[in-house]
Structure 1
Amino acid sequence: MTETTGRHRAAVSTTTPITQGEQAVLDTLEEPRQRTPREIYTIMGGLMLAMLLAMLDNLIVGTAMPTIVGELGGLAHLSWVVTAYALATAVATPIWAKLGDLWGRKGVFMASIVIFLIGSAMSGLAQNMGELIGFRAIQGIGAGGLMVGAMAIIGDIVPPRDRGRYQGLMAAVMPIAFIGGPLLGGFLTDNLSWRWAFYINIPLGILALVVIWFTMKLPAVRRQAKIDWRGAGLLAVAISSLTLFTSWGGTEYAWASWQIVGLGVLAVVATVLFIRSQRTVAEPILPLGLFRSRNFTAAIALTFLTGFALFGAVTFLPQYQQIVQGASATSSGLLLLPLMGGMLVTSLLGGQLVTRTGRFRVLLIVGSFFMAAGLGLLSTMGLGTTQLTSGLFMVVLGIGMGFLMQTTMLVVQNSVGRKDMGAASGAATLFRTIGGSLGVSLLGTLYTARLTSSLTDRLGATGGGQVTGGQLTPAMLSQLPAPVREAFQAAVTSGVQTAFLWAAVVAVVAIVAAFVIQQVALRSAADTPKEPVAA
């Protein structure tokens, strides 16, 4: 028996004999059948629908968020509507990735869509902020399997060097999601109800399930192994504690309070125990051996920082546009077009450049500089900033995000062997989501603290508390007395400036991570990772 097959035997089970059928599956995993372009296009059709579902959600909800928070009350809880979703996604992502590795990607992928749709329906029915946050968590659990499943399937069927050839298919999803998402969210909010920002997922999800069921033909793989539930639990505790630490510190509780100190200690202890468990368990959720690759580790760090920036921009820009610049929900969707357009154009351009030249390092460096610059420019927006000026700032950020998002995933997948594709894709999605979760919670804390402080200075403690804790939608602003309205707009501006300034500081670290990544040859088949080459 070959050394490769021996490694796979150990991965399947240390005690259970391998049948001929199981061995055939293992051979298929190591040397996959080359698919025709027509077969790949057919499979990609189902993936496009699922990715559209995942991409649309936060973009649709983003423009509806000011109205949602205003109707249900509790501006201080704005970040938690996004954080609950992102946190649940982060915790669920490695579990979905491992389930796909163990039981086959198609069935697991479809199960994640079903859970996502259940969470969407429940979110649309929410009657208060507590219910909405809880239902968004259910939605996030399903979302954890959408992107990681799609990325892992693409990694299975398309070699890295050939992936740019199919970039046009993914590009067909991006303009619909990036441009149509904010517009659709604003239109539904203005003309129907913010609840339709969640209900719209249901027909799209059912269509995705039907297409995937009939078109996606993947090998049915089931390996004899167990899910590392202990590791999953420790990971959940670590991420949740860290998110609560950054979200509650300095707002709900003082930084020196026993609650915040306890959360910090719990996060550290859970992280240490999680790392120890991953070193000894047979089927780790997050194989630590992946981090031996310099490129993999640096790309994961860059992915984390990209998620931090993206979630922050999508969360806080509509607040500024609707409350300060006076845009409607629909108009704020239009005003996000510079950001989404910049992402779309550079993502397409970057994919073509990688396919033609095999060079990706320069895209990461350029993208990280643009991301930091864009966030820095957005932090300068004031009460008098025009929509044209803020639009130009968003273009800069969009250019950086477009170069980074897909290129970082490509580097991650190119740094591992095919048998670890699911785990690597899951790790990238996990850290991007953790970045988004921590970004929204930390930036949300800074935003809320600065907003509250500004309102208190202008209106006093009682007046400021009534504004932040009451039900105040952007449409109600015109009904407020002029001094109160101006104070609220100034407070939102100050909060947005603070959030983007700190996001820009964090993004500077992305520049360092981009320079750490080495240029390597992209694989043209499912072979082993290549050694670095001259940049």
Structure 2
Amino acid sequence: MVPSEKEMELSETADFVYPSGFRLALLMISIFISMFLVALDKLIISTATPAITNEFHAANDIGWYGTAYLLTNCAFLLVFGKLYTILSVKATFMTAVVLFEIGSAVCGAAPNSVAFIIGRAIAGLGAGGVQSGVLVVIVYAVPLQKRPQYQGMLGAIYGVASVIGPLIGGAFTTNITWRWCFYINLPLGGVVLVFVFFLLRIPTPSSQSTIKYKLQQLNFEGLFALLPGVICLCLALQWGGFTYSWSDGRIVALLVLAFVLLIAFVLIQVWKPKQATVPPRIFIQRSVASGFWASCCVGAHQTLLIYFLPIWFQVIKGDSAVESGIHLLPMVVALVVSSIVSGVLTSRIGYYTPFLIFGICIAAVGAGVLTTLQVNTSVGKWIGYQIVYGFGLGSCFQAPSMAAQTVLPRNEVSVGASLMLFAQTLFGAIFVSVGQNVVDGQLSKRLARILSITPQQIASAGASGLFKEIPPQYYDAAKVAYNDSLGRLLMESETILVLGATGASGLAFVEEALALPNPPNLVLYVRTPSKISERVSSHPKVSIVTGSLSDYSTLDSTLKSHHVTTVVSFLGAYVSIPAMITRATDTPIANSFPEIIKAMKNNGVRRLLALSTPSYWVDGKDVGTWKLSLYSILPKVVVPQGNAEMVKIAETVNELGEDLDWTIFRIPHLTDGPGDIPVWAAYAGPDHKGSLDLSRRSMGRWLMGEIVEGRWINEAPFLGNY
């Protein structure tokens, strides 16, 4: 809650005079310009990245273009937060702006990728001081009760820079050169320096400390642990799995060293609380700790989407840099609106927590639906998804720093605010590296299925230049591979419950899922665990639960305890000699599906993929041919009970799954062929290009893609190899 004016008078010194009128207006304009600079530099690169990688032939450095900036930014955020408490606020802020300008100049003049990365690192260092400094200036310029409005404006400035940044970046890249994306910062930075020099007035402390005392307050022991710890962590995440395997000694050493150094940093803060960069008494406050965790999560998904969504537009949709920038407008406009509205309402009602909770929930939904983008996603969908995400992000973006300002005294606000910014940028740096690693690994593996192209060619080609290395006849397949690779960024967060995992189809699916570089968590719900091989059962991503379909309590608790997100069923397809003789058509398996669906709804599990047969005919969508009509009759003759089971399973899912995202995948004759055979999915008819054969492994790969992409939600495609 934001304190009332009376409470503020008790918590803040009564003799402090806040600026007003024209001076306040100019001061706010100066810090808004500085925040605009930082936001512009962070986002202007998003539409220029493909052109930069093409010029430098270094697509494997994409992650570093973001990581280098974020790395120094977050590593020195805490340092600047401490510096603002012991040094001149004005001098420290201006120094940060100068560093930012130097970095921008180096980026603009960079002759190669290495120089560009160095420039990004210098700019990130300066940006760390600017970000925390802006919040310090607001503390000394505006009473606490009115700060949410100005911080809402900061969020709006961030959004405006997000709108203009990608557009300017795209315009420069397409019409002039990407280098002007960084040269543009130089005149703006000069304006900021002039404004700050003449307008910023910070009260002089009553007691002047010596230089020796100030140096002691910098906590050098902690810095010597923090800076290399963060660097080691990001190096390991950048190289692991692509440049070197995760088991490589260099990666293991970096991870161990990062863990040890970061733990050492925490212990040093406890050991020397008076000189600590982040005093423990600040961090353990409930509002600060909660804001820190919220900032970690926001920074992770925000940075991933900012860097990879423009690449999706340029590679998958064929947009130019300018067009990809324009197509980000729905997200940033929604962010601007929600940031201003939440800031004004926070000042009015005096509470920031409702907007934080609301924003986090909406942003989570928006980020989730953005991961379902497909090659053929309609304009309405990707616009709507961005609006949802941007609105949620704007609502919660400023709340953590408001929490720090509310519970901390004025002279410690810089430490608390820097801690929130540190959380956002550290997790942003980590997840850009992780995201690039996932995309590179997935892309090289998927392209290898359609043509002979090496990971080195992918790395040197650049993001959009990749298609120059691929024959035109493979463009569509390459786009699907790239789209699937971007979608896999969150594949490892899936937990899939597999029904029928001991059958041939279920086992093939499990094998294909575990072959992924970042496999999902698999929960195998079986009656006979001994049928699962030791190699599968001992895999760290596999859990085995023994139970029957009629045991609702076990099924329900399994969905709940394992946090299942998707259910895949291979039940129903079996051959019974007695049933063939007696022509039995009872359906004990299908009769259990109402309970399965009930358990899913009870635990909030929406995604269901269920196996069925061509005998399940979809009126209005399937078109009969003599070949398909004959094939739909054969299961009724050969496997009457299995056919009856699968038809009833499909009917039950269709009837009771109104609140689920279900897919009924109908199969022809199954084979033991390899997994790299293409699968055609469509409704039955003369235009269906698939054969009447389908390898179980290729079906497994198709299902993994469908879980990520959701192309056939509430549909029943007929599969076949082609």
**In which range does the TM-score fall when normalised by the shorter chain?**
0.7 to 0.9
Task: Name the aligned partner's letter for residue 268 of structure 1.
Answer: F
Shift of residue 376, structure 1, vs aligned partner: 1.0
Whether contact under 8 Å (2:54, 2:465) holds in the other structure is no
Query: Which of 127, 132, 146 in structure 2 is aligned with 1:148?
Result: 132
Kept after mapping to 2: 8 A contact 1:64/1:329? yes
Deviation at 1:209, TM superposition (A): 0.7
**Which of 188, 196, 212 pairs up with 2:172?**
188
SS at the partner of 1:457?
A: coil
Q: Match of 1:373?
A: 365
Larger Rg: 2
* Residues 1:381 and 1:175: Cα distance change in structure 2 (over 3 Å): closer
Is the partner of 1:470 in helix, strand or coil? helix
Offset of residue 391 of structure 1: 1.6
Cα distance between partner residues in 2 of 1:262 and 1:133 = 24
Q: What TM-score, normalized by structure 2, do the two folds share?
A: 0.63
Distance 1:504 1:108 in 2: 46
2:557 corresponding residue in structure 1: none
Percent identity, aligned pairs only, is 29
Note the alpha carbon deviations across 1:428-450, whole angstroms, 9 max, x for none: 11111101111211122112211
**1:213-362 equivalences in 2 (<5 Å):** 213-221=197-205, 223-224=209-210, 225-226=214-215, 227-281=218-272, 282-362=274-354
RMSD between superposed Cα atoms in Å: 2.2
40 and 169 in structure 1: CA distance in 2 versus 1, 3 angstrom threshold: farther
- Displacement after TM superposition at 1:480 (Å): 5.2
- SS of residue paired to 1:384: coil
Cα distance in 2 for partners of 1:242, 1:168 equals: 33
Does residue 43 (structure 1) correspond to residue 33 (structure 2)? The answer is no
Residue 483 (structure 1) aligned with residue 473 (structure 2): yes
More helix by share: 1
Verify the 8 A CA contact 1:103 1:220 in the aligned structure 2: no
The number of aligned residues is 476
Tell me the equivalent position of 1:387.
379
Q: Is the 8 A contact 2:365 2:388 kept in 1?
A: yes
Instruction: Find the aligned partners of 2:124 and 2:300 in 1 and give their Cα distance.
Output: 17
2:190 aligned to which of 203, 206, 215:
206
Quick check: 237-246 or 369-378, which moved more? 237-246
CA contact (8 A) 1:43 1:217 kept: no
CA 1:368–1:210 in structure 2 vs 1: closer, same or farther (change >3 Å)? Answer: same
Offset of residue 280 of structure 1: 2.9
- What are the within-5 Å matches in structure 2 for residues 464-475 of structure 1? 464-465=454-455, 467-472=457-462, 474=464
> Deviation of residue 232 (structure 1)?
1.4
Distance 1:102 1:503 in 2: 43
Q: Deviation per CA, 1:480-522: give whole Å up to 9, x if none.
A: 53234334322321122122556899xxxxxxxxxxxxxxxxx
Residue 106 (structure 2) pairs with residue 116 (structure 1): no
Q: CA deviation at 1:255?
A: 1.8
Q: Distance in 2 between matches of 1:327 and 1:480?
A: 18
1:290-322 deviation per Cα after TM superposition (whole angstroms, max 9, x unaligned): 122111101111011111111111100010001
- Residue 127 of structure 1 is matched in structure 2 by 111
Aligned amino acid, residue 123 of structure 1? C
Cα distance in 1 for partners of 2:126, 2:266 equals 25
Bigger mean CA offset, 307-316 vs 211-220: 211-220
Secondary structure in 2 aligned to 1:459?
Answer: coil
Q: 1:370–1:502: structure 2 CA closer, same or farther, 3 Å change rule?
A: farther
**2-structure distance, mates of 1:479, 1:94:** 44
Partner of 1:67: 51
User: CA distance change for structure 1 residues 477 and 136 in 2, over 3 Å: closer, same or farther?
Assistant: same
Describe the shift of the 1:36–1:123 C-alpha distance in structure 2 as closer, same or farther (beyond 3 A): closer
| Alpha carbons of structure 1 residues 52 and 502: separation in structure 2 relative to 1, 3 Å | farther
> Is 1:79 the counterpart of 2:48 in the alignment?
no
The gaps in structure 1 that reach 5 residues or longer are: 1-27, 506-535
Q: Distance in 2 between matches of 1:194 and 1:504?
A: 38
Alignment correspondent of 1:530: none
Aligned counterparts of 2:81 and 2:494: Cα–Cα separation in 1: 31
1:437-476 matched pairs, under 5 angstroms: 437-460=429-452, 463-465=453-455, 467-472=457-462, 474=464
Distance 2:155 2:263 in 1: 40
Asked whether 1:403 is paired with 2:403, we answer no
What residue is the counterpart of 2:73 in the other structure? Answer: 89
Residues 32 and 405 of structure 1: CA distance in aligned 2, closer, same or farther (over 3 Å): farther
Q: Deviations over 1:344-373 (max 9, x none)?
A: 111111111101111222211111111111
Distance 1:429 1:155 in 2: 16
1:163 aligns with 2:155: no
One-letter identity of the residue aligned with 1:481 = P
Q: Distance in 1 between matches of 2:110 and 2:117?
A: 9
* Shift in CA distance, 473/268, structure 1 to aligned 2, threshold 3 Å: closer
Deviation at 1:323, TM superposition (A): 0.9
1:241 Cα deviation from its structure 2 partner = 1.6
Report the alpha carbon displacement of residue 381 of structure 1 after superposing the two structures with TM.
0.7
SS at match of 2:398: helix
**SS of corresponding position for 1:443:** helix
Separation in 2, partners of 1:504, 1:162: 43
**Relative to structure 1, is the Cα distance of residues 268 and 172 closer, same or farther in structure 2, using a 3 angstrom cutoff?**
closer
Structure 1 Cα separation of the partners of residues 209 and 405 of structure 2? 22
Aligned to 1:177: 161
| Cα pair 1:103 1:223 within 8 Å, conserved | no
Aligned with 2:367: secondary structure?
helix
Change (3 A) 1:36 1:210: closer
1:36 CA drift (Å): 4.1
What is the CA-CA distance between 1:32 and the residue it aligns to?
Answer: 5.8
Q: 1:250 aligns to what SS in structure 2?
A: coil
State the AA in 2 paired with 1:405: F
Verify the 8 A CA contact 1:416 1:424 in the aligned structure 2.
yes
TM-score by length of 1: 0.84
Q: Check conservation: 1:54, 1:143, Cα contact below 8 A.
A: yes
Contact 1:245–1:260, Cα closer than 8 Å, also in 2: yes
The match for 2:489 among 490, 495, 499 is 499
Q: Tell me the amino acid that sits aligned with residue 158 of structure 1.
A: V
Matched-pair contact (CA < 8 Å) for 1:376–1:504: no
The separation in 2 between residues aligned to 1:441 and 1:58, in whole angstroms, is 16
Q: 1:283 to 1:157 in 2, by over 3 A?
A: farther
Find the counterpart in structure 2 of residue 13 from structure 1: none
Contact 1:335 1:387 in 2 (8 A): no
Closer, same or farther in 2 for the Cα pair 1:131/1:215, shift >3 Å? Answer: same
Q: Distance in 1 between matches of 2:449 and 2:114?
A: 29
